[in-house]
Structure 1
């Protein structure tokens, strides 16, 4: 019996197919993160869009906090809700709505501090959780997305290093060339010109996603596994209070807010939190946005008489704390106003195109080498256009039928991928799903207008609906481009299928 260490052709073929499927799966996850992240740039606008008719104001009287605290804690106690604090969203430029949260209860407030309707941002939360955790449990999803950020960083750096003529070809774009040359030029130009943005997003995403893993590692190496000591380097320890502490009046909010304005003039206040309200030792925490800084804010704690107890130091403390606190706003583009959000959105679209063109180049090369992967091409095309379609469909289902956006998105994506693996053509899936996505985006706007009427065309709702319409218009333009190119170009048979799959 002859024994050979050389693998059989069938084994090699199976391993190659498995490698290709794994590569496509990772590319799909990267693509989902990019598409959802591009839309999540406007997550503040989408939160307000979901409940477009709620009162918006930037002026709040200090007495409102006391009234709302009494009503919110009474409601929480009546419902058996356990709580140690009451948190307010102070109306600000990103969220000009007054909101109170006690435990799992979250309500809007009237101008007099009275409790109004419940806060519901389920679709926006789906979108943001899709971006930073792929809707998985946070302990699994966040590190996974962090690893995807590491992969993306490696792809960007290796792509730049693999391009020896990076400056010479900086303005090269062969529109009249073959589909492969077009995809290569599109991929390389986007990769070069937007490289600083792509690197910033990838590195900050990896940092945010893996920070918890790093915290566990540091705790194990230097603090005997005590993660709380690591977190204390970044966060103030929780306010403790004796279990038998007596009842006392609520803090003097007018004095505290006046002192806050004196200590930090020009800071935009966005959160107020009362620890153990109405108990001895209660404390008030206010978080502000620091002008001209990337850190997510600065945190101040006061006693009941308005005396400053502690300043966190995110904006002026240790370098490590400042770097950590700056990652989030840099990653989501929430600095320097609305123009930066628009820039992040457009650059995010470019990042999505970069991912798609990279896989397209690989698939076209396989075709040209005589080893086409038709099933992978169909599945990939179903995902390229099916993922935006599934996101838009989830918004329609949520607005009209209050159906879980998470279930709609993942079920739609899975069904499209499975069906495409066994039927259809690449070009057919491309045109079908582009048309379906256009219709779904328009239906989102129509549904929103039918629910909220004139409120759908003002403030944040106008921005969010404009995003849906821009998506529809952009995809429609891509359909027109594909149609025009098919009519005016005569491609070689080996490339024609790949061209029509764009």
Structure 2
């Protein structure tokens, strides 16, 4: 590689790293507790659990479960309902002031065996909420997400350019060598390069999946415009089906389950919400294996007749989004994978911090050298 090419790659690595480093440090620090969000909820008593004395009871009709949530907040409308990931007998009903509101919601936990309200967990307050919002959008909504996506792209550029620069640099040293006798800056440079290479694949995966996740809102809207609108064209212009005219929700669920017997329910989107249509109740089904559980199958059920209207396959870009979301937080292999993700996260913090230290140290040394040269020139001039 020519000297000019190396200078270009060095410039790319320097400035892409400098621009994104502080934000990447923020994302690594806020992402660390989010890796263990489920475990933290159980340790802090935030997780809702079913009373076990009724463990052998049957299942209440889904209509009664949703009605219990609605009765808790009669001034709100139901947007979504979902069974708990670990215990399908526990249900959560999400209510908002209006169907077009997404940032003011109440979640009601309901015992699916007897339709009794158990708790109203708040997911819009507390330490984990602050960590999640800082990590997802910096409390700035879609502009914040897209900005963090840009920082993620700069991280990918920094990683690729760092690999390009690492190859000629390591021709002079053994792999993994950390020079102890050359001063602290050289030791940190060697450690920065070594840890950067060790975490290379992980950082690329987390960086790339993070970028994809920031596009989630736009991808869903494009899917609604590109494919869902074509399926719903026969119902265009019709108002939202009133609750009084809807078929029993339990019958609609049974129709969706009969249409996809090899899948289980993830969540229900009610008519008029962002993931459904004014005329349908949409049941999002998932597979039963660790991989297929991340791939969703929407089943659109006519809200009046409880008949399945369509069950489209999700486009490739939404499939990529769904696969990237759990991979971003190491949510494929249980607790062992989460621990590995956390350790790599900590190492990445060291890489980012050492890179910032090396730049500041070099800048100070360069400034000191410039001042010394100026002083020497001034001394010669005075003579």
TM-score, normalisation: structure 1: 0.56
Partner of 2:38: 44
1:150 aligns with 2:153: yes
- Aligned partner of 1:31 among 12, 22, 25: 25
| 24 and 300 in structure 1: CA distance in 2 versus 1, 3 angstrom threshold | same
- Aligned partner of 2:194 among 189, 208, 219: 189
Partner of 1:421: none
Q: 1:96 offset after TM fit, Å?
A: 8.5
Q: Answer yes or no: is the 8 Å Cα contact 1:88–1:273 preserved in 2.
A: yes
What do residues 444-466 of structure 1 show as CA deviations (whole Å, max 9, x unaligned)?
Answer: xxxxxxxxxxxxxxxxxxxxxxx
Whole-Å separation in 1 of the counterparts to 2:196 and 2:62: 50
Whole-Å separation in 1 of the counterparts to 2:356 and 2:109: 46
- Aligned partner of 1:133 among 137, 140, 162: 137
What do residues 351-381 of structure 1 show as CA deviations (whole Å, max 9, x unaligned)?
Answer: 1111111111222333444639xxxxxxxxx
Q: Answer yes or no: is the 8 Å Cα contact 2:46–2:121 preserved in 1.
A: no
Partner of 1:311: 311
Partner of 2:119: 117
What do residues 446-498 of structure 1 show as CA deviations (whole Å, max 9, x unaligned)?
Answer: xxxxxxxxxxxxxxxxxxxxxxxxxxxxxxxxxxxxxxxxxxxxxxxxxxxxx
Partner of 1:209: 214
| 289 and 36 in structure 1: CA distance in 2 versus 1, 3 angstrom threshold | farther
Q: Which is bigger in relative contact order (C-alpha 8 A, separation at least 6)?
A: 2
SS in 2 for 1:89: strand
Instruction: Kindly tell me the number of residue pairs found equivalent between the two proteins.
Output: 330
Q: 1:295 offset after TM fit, Å?
A: 4.2
Q: Answer yes or no: is the 8 Å Cα contact 1:270–1:289 preserved in 2.
A: no
Matches within 5 A, 1:64-463: 64-77=61-74, 80-81=75-76, 83=77, 85-93=78-86, 97-103=90-96, 104-110=105-111, 111-121=113-123, 122-123=125-126, 124-135=128-139, 137-165=140-168, 169-174=174-179, 178-210=183-215, 231-233=224-226, 242=239, 245=242, 247-248=244-245, 250-251=247-248, 253=250, 256-257=253-254, 260=257, 263-265=260-262, 267-275=263-271, 283-289=281-287, 291=289, 292-293=291-292, 295-303=294-302, 307-314=307-314, 318-369=315-366, 371=368
Whole-Å separation in 2 of the counterparts to 1:242 and 1:173: 68
Q: 1:153 offset after TM fit, Å?
A: 0.8
| 96 and 362 in structure 1: CA distance in 2 versus 1, 3 angstrom threshold | farther
Q: Answer yes or no: is the 8 Å Cα contact 1:90–1:272 preserved in 2.
A: no
| 356 and 66 in structure 1: CA distance in 2 versus 1, 3 angstrom threshold | same
SS in 2 for 1:351: helix
What do residues 225-259 of structure 1 show as CA deviations (whole Å, max 9, x unaligned)?
Answer: xx955543476778875367582465252783486
| Structure 1 residues not aligned, in runs of 5+ | 1-19, 216-226, 373-502
| Structure 2 residues not aligned, in runs of 5+ | 1-13, 97-104, 370-383
SS in 1 for 2:167: coil
